[in-house]
Structure 1
Amino acid sequence: MNKPRMLLAALPLLVGVAQAQQPPESEWRQANRQVAEFPRGHADVLKWEQAHLAPATPAPAKPATLVLSTLADGVRLAWQAHPDLAKPLAQLGAEEAGLLASGQWQGLSAVKLRRIEDAAELIDVAHGTRKTLLAAMAAEQALPYQQQALQAAEAAAELGARMARTGNWSKLQDAREQLLKVSAMQQWQRSLYAADQSRAAVLKALQQWTRRPSQTVSLPQGLPVLPASILSEQAFQSRLESMAATLPASEQTMMRANAELAYSAYRTAFALASSSQQDMLKLRQLIYDETVLRYNGMLLNTWDLLAESRALAEARVEAIGAVRDFWLAEADLQLLLLGQVPESFVTLAAGGGDSPAAAGH
């Protein structure tokens, strides 16, 4: 059920109350009765919209010149953009190339890779493309929730402005809601730019960015689900030593120097995405559901409900960012276990929404 949309559909009913010349207590009784006209949630909202709202003009579809159904599709296209990688790909073989493209790098033979000329570039392209795609997929997946947060802030600001115009609200109360709206709009604009930027990075990684301006790319739908468990520290150390044994002394030293940080980022990102972030999302959902109940019982006002709607949408964005960060950290760890060192490791910032996208090869 799209509850934020339900709130926005009810906004014309709510804001009309602010213009009525009735005591504030009567206004809120009427507002609550009107919102209660949607007891079945989305189904009732759709019926109301069909009866009262003009049909929206569909936006023109953007042409999709590249369709990527999976992350592996993107990696293979990136390899094709580098003709010099045809020989190492043939030497690697279809089965192991498939493992590398799909991110199942633990199934690769370190000894075989060391014997293939230009294998390091093959791995580097796969790693960079995978991280670029993950960042772009997360940015796109988060956009609907970021839009919901903006719509909730806009609804609260509009209702507040009308209440202030009729003298039922102070300038201070109105200013607070307008400030939240401005902040939400700025975040939405940043999110739209980040999504555009990440798509451009994908096209660049696939060497398609020089095509006509209308070119775009259809990304895989949603980030991969989190694994049930992660690589244990003991298994990590065992694979680290196995790989290090195939490297020259100088490369061994560099690999071991970065190993602890790579595994720490991987383990911490998994903890944040699988438990901490999910617990936060569940609690946000619970708070929102309880707020709806209390609002329907006229124990909380409209702004309380809109504030919780915005907070729930933001929590979902943060959860997406946390899952993205895990897969970025996982890609870095796998790269390390193939004998190479990432240029940098993922930043596990609070909220997870602004972690920078990795540059494509």
Structure 2
Amino acid sequence: MTTKLSIPTLRAVAAGAMLVALSGCATISKDGGLDAVSSLTAERTGQDVRLPKTNADGAAIQDELNQLLKQPLSADSAVRIALLNNRGLRASLAELGVAEADLVQAGRMANPGFSFSRMSGGGETEIERSVMFDLVGLVTIPIRRDIESRRFESAKLVAATEAVRLAADTRKAYFNAVAAVQSAHYAAQVREAAGASAELAQRMAKVGNLSALDQAREQAFSSEASTQLARARHSATAAREQLARLMGVWGENTAFQLPDKLPELPAVPREAGNIESLAMQQRLDVRLAKLGTESTARALGLTKATGVINVLDAGYVNSSKSGAPRENGYEIELALPIFDWGGARVAKAEALYMQSVHRTADTAINARSQVREAYSAYRTTYDVARQHRDELVPLRKKISEESLLRYNGMLMSVFELLADARAQIAGVNAAIDAQREFWIAETDLQAAISGSGGSSISMASTAAPAEGAAEH
């Protein structure tokens, strides 16, 4: 037996189609939330982020990368390359599309369900057709959209946090790489001085002007200097590779040029000012925690709204039997709250909300502490680096010059002269370390104020090694 849909049936189907069309108005945005992430990142790092979606986008980014890699790198250009080229960051930015898809899906009504049954027997045939719609899903669309909207905002903050963290890590890797190159150069000078000392000691020992003990000491120092040079060169290679990984370069692009020395210290250090207030306004982890608390509060409201009526479907039913007129009507399906009134779910949501509130407060307290610690490291490393630059290095240089005068006047031995030269080079290395620590501390301070980081500087001694090993 064949049947045809009646006018009421067509009206019901049309009404359902209209609801689906209305609920499907939300669409994926053109930028996918990337513009907001780029703006947040630019405010904190001075560099925007881009995610190539077409071949033209990829070609434009590659052209910019090629131009940056042709010139000696600065800290800013290294950060720029990382934000454009780091594949891990691109993967994080792709999560924005997932979050936005969930937001669009939350604004759409679930597809209606259609059922058809046919029963025959005793010369009769019964056909039943029904179309069911999720009314609760329709009513709660605004609430679900609001929740997913907040989750989308959270995804933007998470992506921006990853970008800011990558920028900070790249800046620190850059300063480590440049400092390692400087240290390797000075280690080569130490090795050269030690080699000259060992050669002179060998010549003097041959003519009987130097004891075997003194000659062994000079040869041991020369061997140790060679070992330190090898380690310094490896450290320079490792630091360079760390920078290359963060910038996402490989192949011929790893032949980027680094400057010969670190940037000079600023004339005056930054004052503390209102860094705690700035951190509360700009910290991305604080903003993310606040947004999470708001989302949890909205989810609590949704749980209360659907705590009792958790399934409610309504639809059109059409039934016909052979030899009988068609029967029309409707059907409502309601889950009765006999065993579960939703109290446990509401209590759980309230506990989750209070948990979120306390975590937000904890995040803010930690952020304030981190920014204070970061400023202490910043100011301390600045003072230490300035002392090395203005006092210790000039004093070492003066000692070396006075030693040279005494040597020319035959008032000291050549070994004492070489020992002073080695001490001067060690002092310069200590100054390089102090300068490197300042720039890393400055990066950490910026991250503590604007991003989600804190101080990573441990105030280890950067004093020159003792000279006892060089004394005879």
Specify which of 112, 120, 131 is matched with residue 172 of structure 2: 131
Name 1:311's counterpart in structure 2.
Answer: 423
- Aligned ranges 1:32-181 → 2 under 5 Å: 67-82=71-86, 83=90, 117=157, 118-181=159-222
Quote the offset at 1:86 in angstroms. Answer: 7.6
Alignment match, 1:43: none
Residues 17-59 of structure 1, C-alpha deviations (whole Å, 9 max, x = no match): xxxxxxxxxxxxxxxxxxxxxxxxxxxxxxxxxxxxxxxxxxx
Q: What is the rounded CA distance, in whole Å, between the counterparts of 2:387 and 2:154 in structure 1? A: 38
CA distance in 2, matches of 1:69, 1:116: 29
Return the letter of the residue paired with 1:234. G
Structure 2 CA distance for aligned equivalents of residues 262 and 144 of structure 1: 30
The reply on whether 1:326 has 2:445 as its aligned counterpart is no
Give the aligned partner of residue 338 of structure 2.
Answer: none
Higher strand share: 2
**More displaced 10-residue stretch of structure 1: 242-251 or 194-203:** 242-251
Q: How far did residue 159 of structure 1 move? A: 0.9
Establish whether residue 226 from structure 1 lines up as the match of residue 272 from structure 2. no
Percent same amino acid at aligned positions? 32
Query: Structure 1 regions of 5+ residues with no counterpart?
Result: 1-64, 89-112, 354-361
Between the two structures, name the one with larger relative contact order (CA 8 Å, sep ≥ 6).
1
Change (3 A) 1:303 1:322: same
Supply the distance in 2 between the matched residues of 1:147 and 1:78 (Cα, whole angstroms).
31
Q: Which deviations, in whole Å up to 9, do the C-alpha atoms of 1:96-122 show, x marking residues without a partner?
A: xxxxxxxxxxxxxxxxx9995421111
The correspondence of residues 291-310 of structure 1 with structure 2, limited to 5 A, is 291-310=403-422
CA distance in 2, matches of 1:225, 1:166: 49
Which residue among 320, 334, 347 is the counterpart of 2:458?
347
Alpha-carbon distance in 2 for matches of 1:87, 1:229? 42
Which of these residues, 210, 221, 224, is aligned with residue 183 of structure 1?
A: 224
Task: Check the 8 A contact 2:388/2:434 in 1, yes or no.
Answer: no
Please tell me whether Structure 1 or Structure 2 has the larger radius of gyration of its CA atoms: 2
Aligned mates of 1:351, 1:254 — CA distance in 2 = 29
Question: What RMSD in Å do the two structures reach over aligned CA positions?
Answer: 2.9
Unaligned runs of 5+ in 2: 1-68, 96-152, 291-359, 465-472
Corresponding residue SS for 1:337 = helix
Corresponding residue for residue 383 of structure 2: 271
Task: Tell me the CA shift for residue 259 of structure 1.
Answer: 2.6
Runs of 4+ with deviation above 4 angstroms: 84-88, 113-117, 244-247
Tell me the secondary structure at the aligned position of residue 273 of structure 2. helix
Distance change >3 Å, CA 220–CA 276, structure 1 → 2: closer
- Conserved 8 A contact 2:165-2:451: no
Q: For residues 268 and 230 of structure 2, what CA distance do their matches in structure 1 show?
A: 36
Deviation at 1:231, TM superposition (A): 2.2
Does the CA-based 8 Å contact 2:172-2:440 persist in structure 1? yes
Matches of 1:196 and 1:268, distance apart in 2: 29
Calculate the TM-score normalised by the size of structure 2. Answer: 0.51
Change (3 A) 1:267 1:278: same
The verdict on how the C-alpha distance between 1:325 and 1:352 changes in structure 2, with shifts beyond 3 A counting, is farther
Contact 2:275 2:371 in 1 (8 A): no
CA distance in 2, matches of 1:75, 1:199: 14
CA offset digits 1:121-151 (Å, max 9, x no partner): 1101111111111100111123222211111
